[in-house]
Amino acid sequence: MPAQLVFFRLLAFPDQAEWLLHPGGSVQRGSLAELAAQAGGARQILIAPGETSILHPIAVPGRKRSAWARAVPYALEDQVIEEIESLHFALGSVPDGGWLPVAVVGHAALRAWMGACDQAGLAPAAVVPEPLLLPWQDGDWSIVLEERRAVVRIGRQEGFATERDALGLLLSQTLVEAGDAKPRRLRIWGSAAAEFAEPAIAEIERVVEADPIEPLQLFAATYQPGTVLNLLQGSYSRQAQWGRWLRPWRVTAALAGLWLLVQGCAQVYENWRLRQELVSLGAQMERVYREAVPGATRIVNPKVQLEARLKELRSSGTGSGAFLELLHRGGQPLVNFPDVVLRGFSYRDGQLDLSLQGGDPAVLDQLRQQFNQQPGLQTEIRTTQREGQLESKITLKKAAS
């Protein structure tokens, strides 16, 4: 759903305005603070006095749109009285038949309008010159008559505003400048439209429009967001306003960004260090598992596999007591032979297998004798030689009673 529009004009009195909340509604007048209280959440359109703006289309200055903003001030240098540096040039979004719409307004005036709005809590989304909000079609000129002033539109992107006393003179001069492009018809709005008569327009058909009477209602009905020329460009655009608001916070934002970067780097390093520790612990667990289960060939998860192995030992038919007894009786003789190293052991179905390394035939013979001297213990020793060292496997189990 499109945002609600509120149209308003600043009046000559300080901090006073007139506004229209609905195109078909009534015009209200009061302070800018009252307007701000009613316009919350609406898209605000400020209608700029036509007397403060010069509408002057120029031939499109080149093909590159990026260069237009720099070229336009110099193209209009002879058409303005003030110094170029004191003027703001707003460009139309789309050229019209090889002509580029241009509106010229003083920086001082535009800043004063925006300052008054900002102080009251208003934030106009667009500032549009009055003449461009009058109805227009090819062959027509449009005039709105107010009590002391008049607003005139003479083209798609041309028009002016003036005091009522000077309107006849300006119309006469404009008609002369128009040459063959004189209008076929004048459309006139305002409470005094029926009585309006000037010698300069005596030969032109006049159409008095009865509705709407209020200029603000007419402006709102004519407004077309996609085609209207908005004065809020360049340094006055929404992006530039946000930039000015954020500028004092740039250092703070930069420091905050740097702090976040440091924190991010520290987090990345910590994650990398923990992964390295996890890999190292995994390697240690695998080594422990291989030592505890010498015959293991497939190791996927050493912790889970070792727990499963211990559970298997506990739940074997002979019970944990048989395992501990065999482990105790098998370990006693080994204490007396420091040259023989226990490389691992396994237990299954009441049988304990010890994997040994080292010693010599005489030592191993003595070890066998000590095992055989233990009553109620059945012992089997197998010895092989690998790479100059003796490797032995001793199988222990209780003798049948």
**Considering Cα of 190, then 195, then 201, then 207, what sign does the dihedral take?**
positive
For residue 317, the model assigns a pLDDT of 47
Cis ω before 212 (30° cut-off from 0): yes
| Amino acid making up residue 302 | P
CA angle 22, 40, 123 (to 5 degrees): 100
For residue 36, the model assigns a pLDDT of 94
Does 303 or 155 have the greater pLDDT score? 155
For residue 381, the model assigns a pLDDT of 87
Edge-to-edge strand order for the sheet containing 87-91?
53-55, 102-106, 87-91
The domain made up of 5-236 has a fold known as Nucleotidyltransferase; domain 5 (3.30.420)
Q: What is the mean pLDDT of the chain?
A: 84
Phi/psi of residue 104, each to 5°?
A: -120, 130
Is 371 buried (19+), middle (13-18) or exposed (0-12) by CB count in 10 A?
buried
Q: Which of 37-51, 60-74, 135-149 has the lowest mean pLDDT?
A: 60-74
For residue 50, the model assigns a pLDDT of 93
Residue 329 pairs in a beta bridge with none
Summarize pLDDT for 248-271 with one digit per residue, the tens.
Answer: 656 777 788 888 888 888 888 888
Mean pLDDT for 175-187 is: 91
Hey, what are 221's tokens?
Answer: 């009905």
Hey, what are 254's tokens?
Answer: 């930069």
Q: Which of 3-7, 48-52, 81-85 has the highest mean pLDDT?
A: 48-52
Say if CB 191 and CB 214 are below 8 A apart: no
Hey, what are 355's tokens?
Answer: 């994997």
Angle of the 302-314 helix axis to the 319-334 helix axis, nearest 10: 110
Phi/psi of residue 65, each to 5°?
A: -65, -30
Q: Which of 158-172, 296-310, 325-339, 345-359 has the lowest mean pLDDT?
A: 296-310
Nearest residue to 353 via CA among 295, 384, 393: 393
How far, in Å, are 59, 178, 288, 298 from residue 284 at the CA level? 81, 95, 6, 16
Say if CB 390 and CB 355 are below 8 A apart: no
CA distance 31 to 16: 4
Mean pLDDT for 269-295 is: 78
Say if CB 354 and CB 396 are below 8 A apart: yes
For residue 376, the model assigns a pLDDT of 81
Q: Which of 113-117, 253-257, 285-289, 378-382 has the lowest mean pLDDT?
A: 285-289
Q: Which of 66-75, 242-251, 323-332, 354-363 has the lowest mean pLDDT?
A: 242-251
CA distance 169 to 199: 10
For residue 387, the model assigns a pLDDT of 79
Domain coordinates in residue numbering, the chain:
5-236, 316-398
Nearest residue to 47 via CA among 25, 76, 27: 27
Q: How confident is the model at residue 321 (pLDDT cuts 50, 70, 90)?
A: low
pTM for this prediction: 0.60
How far, in Å, are 8, 88, 134, 237 from residue 130 at the CA level? 11, 17, 7, 19
First-residue to last-residue Cα distance in the chain: 95
For residue 113, the model assigns a pLDDT of 94
For residue 24, the model assigns a pLDDT of 75
Is the pLDDT assigned to residue 125 strictly greater than 90? yes
Q: Write the CATH number of the domain with boundaries 316-398.
A: 3.30.1360.100
Q: Which of 118-127, 208-217, 284-293, 345-354 has the highest mean pLDDT?
A: 118-127
Is the pLDDT assigned to residue 242 strictly greater than 60? no
H or E segment and range at residue 232: none
CA distance 345 to 327: 9
For residue 294, the model assigns a pLDDT of 66
Domains 5-236 and 316-398 share a fold: no
Mean pLDDT for 51-65 is: 83
CA distance 105 to 89: 7
For residue 34, the model assigns a pLDDT of 94
Q: How confident is the model at residue 292 (pLDDT cuts 50, 70, 90)?
A: low
Q: Which of 42-51, 186-195, 308-317 has the lowest mean pLDDT?
A: 308-317
